[in-house]
Structure 1
Amino acid sequence: MAPPAKPITSPVSDAWYPTLALLMLSIGLVVTASFFIYEATSSKRNRSLAKELITGGVASVFLGFGSLFLLLSAGVYV
């Protein structure tokens, strides 16, 4: 006989969703702002593709997870 199935649970407590959403969205917006400032203030010859890709990737990850936790805290389970 098979053992009874364990229910699937989140690795993060539901009470942490709003806090994580606020924290990650704030970090993502700060990194996005620094990306825009870097693009606006540096000349075309001084720009670094690696720095742009890393900054954009970090901002994307934080904004993505922040949006996920915001949806989860609002009760939209994706």
Structure 2
Amino acid sequence: MAESAKPINSPVPDSLYPMLSVLLLAIGLLVTASFFIYVATSSRKNRSLVKELITGAVASIFLGFGSLFLLLSTGVYV
């Protein structure tokens, strides 16, 4: 049974980890900046909770995956 076992491989090549981390972190920071600009420039009456939650969720996803690929590219396998 041990002879038929296949090693687990990543769906993303290791050489793409640095580029993915920079790209995803940059997108996450841009979405975060747009969130802060939206909150700072709109009045309390004109704000939309749904828009804030969606923007926060998108920024969180991009920053989370960017951090994951940053850790993977530096050799910290999580």
Moved segments of 4+, more than 2 Å: none
* 1:25 is aligned to 2:25: yes
Query: 2: distance between equivalents of 1:57 and 1:17?
Result: 23
Query: 2: distance between equivalents of 1:3 and 1:19?
Result: 36
Give the deviation of 1:73 after TM superposition: 0.1
Gaps of 5+ in 2: none
* 1:6 is aligned to 2:6: yes
| Equivalent residue runs for 1:61-76 within 5 Å | 61-76=61-76
Query: 1: distance between equivalents of 2:2 and 2:17?
Result: 34
**Equivalent pairs, count:** 78
Relative to the length of structure 1, the TM-score reads 0.96
| Equivalent residue runs for 1:39-78 within 5 Å | 39-78=39-78
* 1:34 is aligned to 2:34: yes
Relative to the length of structure 2, the TM-score reads 0.96
Cα 1:70–1:2 shift into 2, 3 Å: closer
Gaps of 5+ in 1: none
Give the deviation of 1:35 after TM superposition: 0.2
Query: 2: distance between equivalents of 1:61 and 1:42?
Result: 24
Over the matched positions of the two proteins, sequence identity in percent amounts to: 76
